Structure 1
Amino acid sequence: MSGPEAPSVVFACMDADTLGGIQRVTHTVAQGLAERGHDVHVIGLHRAEIPFRYVERPRYTRHVIHRTPVGRLSPRGARRERRTLRGLFRQVGPGFAVLSSPGVVTRLKPLLPERLLPIGQYHGSYEHARGSWHLGSVRGHYGGLEKAVFLSEDDAWLFSEHALLPNTWTIPNPLPVWPSRTADLSGHRVLGVGRLEGVKRFDRLISAFAEACRGDVDAGWELHLIGEGAELDRLRAHALTCGVAGQVVFRGTVAASGMEREYLEGSVLGLSSEHEGLPLVIGEAASYGVPTVAFDVSGGVRSLVLDRETGLLAPPGDVTAFATALGTLMASARERRRLGTAARAHVGAFTLDRVLDRWEALFEQVTR
């Protein structure tokens, strides 16, 4: 589908430049499709409070509609948004508008010209949508789009059944790179990667790590938390309460270019989030041969972690079961290597080229 006849693609986000999963996926896929010959535009409806640059030399065009961060628009701001977007869309050739969230769908769908076919993405899980206003919005608005795209087959099926969607499609998040080296898994380091915010529940990871350390494992294990956020002080205090303050290392933000070293020096990834869509960190760790212990919170997690085949799953919120699973891998380098080897083979399906193929297959199916 590359070349002069390749359809244009517009990606639209509430804000496109915050450090976050939706934004990272959007820029990665945008760059990939642009390199395949598509005319690609990335729209952020609002300015990011702390902009993050995902692609050093983008081959797509970026647009920011409002100079203010995400928030309620004044009537004047809403009129300006509609005027600006309609002018922008007039400059884009026939193709697709990929709308990254329910809020973006409701704001942009009425403004799209007929030559830009609307595709709704949902980056969360069905479980998360069911507990918020998202499910009602997806049910009310995504069925009228050309396609409703979800992260896993489980999520697509659940939305088709419970949101009554006739147009579901599955495209996972892509891995930006595929490493040539893998971790040897002989070290004593558990990794936790993500924002230090409540939804990530790193307090549960610390609790499980402390419990696992009291089991039949070698001395010297450490838990390295990579990321920054508002929970830092509380998590430090929690590590102290759990008796592992000397073993929990708060690393702060690590640049994307430095994550290769982190994965190569890790032996297990711990994912303790309250909810997730399809967490890239699991796929990235797996690409380096690092197995994951995670709470079973979504179809996306289950699509990456095949329990006892490529990693270990614990029931949502069950810290004791998580600690048992973590302790199993901390106690056995052989088991880490068995699962890590299988994990790397499994996530080969999530490489960028394969995900771009799935996007282009969707475009072809819609226009056939």
Structure 2
Amino acid sequence: MNVVFACLDADTLGGIQQVTHTLAQGLARRGHELHVIGLHRAASPFPYVEHPRYHRHLVSSAPVGQEGGIARRRSRRRLRELLGTMRPGYAVLTSPGVVTRTAGLMPEHLRAIGQYHGSYEHASGCWHLGSIKKHYPELEQAAFLSEDDAWRFSEQALLPNAWTLPNPLAHWPRRVSELSAPRVLGVGRLEGVKRFDRLITAFARSGAPPPWELHLIGDGAELDRLRAHAAQEGVTDRVVFRGRVPAGEMPAEYRAASLLAMSSEHEGLPIVLLESAAHGVPAVAFDVSGGVRSARPVLVPPGDVDALAERLGSLTGSDRERRRLGAAARERAEAFRLDRVLDRWESLFAHLER
């Protein structure tokens, strides 16, 4: 099978890119021919796979949003020519932006599958829902992250071709956390949508005593504001900003944590929830999507900082409950192991071939 994944940019640090490279490497190892296309250059490239077994292509050397009219036309021509050289198979378009940018360029021998890595809740609050309603019914398949999201898009966006394909875990760890270290972990870009300010406030209100700390892994534009917010909440010495951590070092970070907390405004199916669960680390998260619910962390109402604080406080104070939840999380994470998700992709291809 020939499979092409197309991203707005393929190498930025982000969930879409991580999933794309994980799937491409996994399918290539199963003997398929794989291509990953970046429509634009990543401003800060992040290496996901050390020895890729798939082909890499870059269409435009300009970052997203920085092309002029002439350059955009040139890029469309390059993309049409590149797609035309591909063997018959499937083109996986990883976002509504990619679907619109490839409209009219897809050759007949490539059957398009449109992914959406967000939730129905998020799509309905921005331009994504209108774009999905307009373009995705024309594709061979529309793939969503959870059964709940697929059903809601099918019923409320009138999509006749909705399918469920969850995000995969790139690796299955043999070693898990002992859940004894006094550390709560937050992972993600230090950007507004992640709302780490809410997590810092919840940690400060949780009553978790020293030596409990909140470690935030990631970098971004909100760093200075979040440092100031930690000072305002009186936990400067207990909130540790770790910066960007290489992917290969993240297993050690999960093993060194006893809780994961997620305070985002919106999420699809966050890889960090799956990775923490695979390491036996229980998580507390805002109930913002079907994907988050499918990972089955401890859920609190969206934006309810006091509820998040209460759950953090109860779990930092109970070794027994953390271990119970951590064991259950690892068991549920089995469903997201890479081989099982790759089986589902191959089932989709077989379904479309029929």
- TM-score, length-scaled by structure 2: 0.98
Shift of 1:117: 0.3
Corresponding position of 2:206: 212
Corresponding position of 1:79: 73
Aligned counterpart in structure 1 of residue 93 of structure 2, from 91, 99, 110: 99
Shift of 1:72: 5.6
**TM superposition outliers: structure 1 runs of 4+ over 4 Å:** none
- The answer (yes or no) to whether the contact 1:189–1:268 under 8 Å persists in 2 is yes
Tell me which amino acid in the other structure corresponds to 1:50. Answer: S
Aligned counterpart in structure 1 of residue 258 of structure 2, from 259, 267, 292: 267
Corresponding position of 2:64: 70
Tell me which amino acid in the other structure corresponds to 1:41. Answer: H
Corresponding position of 2:312: 326
Shift of 1:224: 0.5
Aligned counterpart in structure 2 of residue 251 of structure 1, from 230, 242, 251: 242
Corresponding position of 2:164: 170
Residues 1-368 of structure 1: pairs in structure 2 closer than 5 A: 7-71=1-65, 73-213=67-207, 217-305=208-296, 311-368=297-354
Shift of 1:73: 4.0
Tell me which amino acid in the other structure corresponds to 2:265. Answer: E
CA offset digits 1:137-174 (Å, max 9, x no partner)? 00010011110000011111111111110000001111
Deviates further, 78-87 or 130-139: 78-87
Q: Give SS of 1:341's match.
A: helix
| Counterparts of 1:256 and 1:30, CA distance in 2 | 17
Count matched residues: 354
- The answer (yes or no) to whether the contact 2:48–2:247 under 8 Å persists in 1 is no
Go from structure 1 to structure 2 and tell me whether the alpha carbon gap of 1:225 and 1:72 turns closer, same or farther (over 3 Å shift): closer
CA offset digits 1:209-233 (Å, max 9, x no partner)? 01112xxx55311101111111111
| Counterparts of 1:247 and 1:118, CA distance in 2 | 48
The percent identity for this pair of structures is: 66
- The answer (yes or no) to whether the contact 1:109–1:118 under 8 Å persists in 2 is no
Go from structure 1 to structure 2 and tell me whether the alpha carbon gap of 1:212 and 1:364 turns closer, same or farther (over 3 Å shift): same
Q: Give SS of 1:106's match.
A: helix
Tell me which amino acid in the other structure corresponds to 1:279. Answer: P
- The answer (yes or no) to whether the contact 1:313–1:325 under 8 Å persists in 2 is no
CA offset digits 1:59-80 (Å, max 9, x no partner)? 1111110110001643422332
Go from structure 1 to structure 2 and tell me whether the alpha carbon gap of 1:240 and 1:72 turns closer, same or farther (over 3 Å shift): closer
CA offset digits 1:86-117 (Å, max 9, x no partner)? 22123211110000111111121311111100
Tell me which amino acid in the other structure corresponds to 1:87. Answer: E
Tell me which amino acid in the other structure corresponds to 1:86. Answer: R
| Counterparts of 2:74 and 2:224, CA distance in 1 | 42
Q: Give SS of 2:104's match.
A: helix
| Counterparts of 2:209 and 2:194, CA distance in 1 | 27
| Counterparts of 1:187 and 1:107, CA distance in 2 | 47
Runs of at least 5 residues in structure 1 that lack an aligned partner in the other structure: 1-6, 306-310
| Counterparts of 1:78 and 1:228, CA distance in 2 | 30
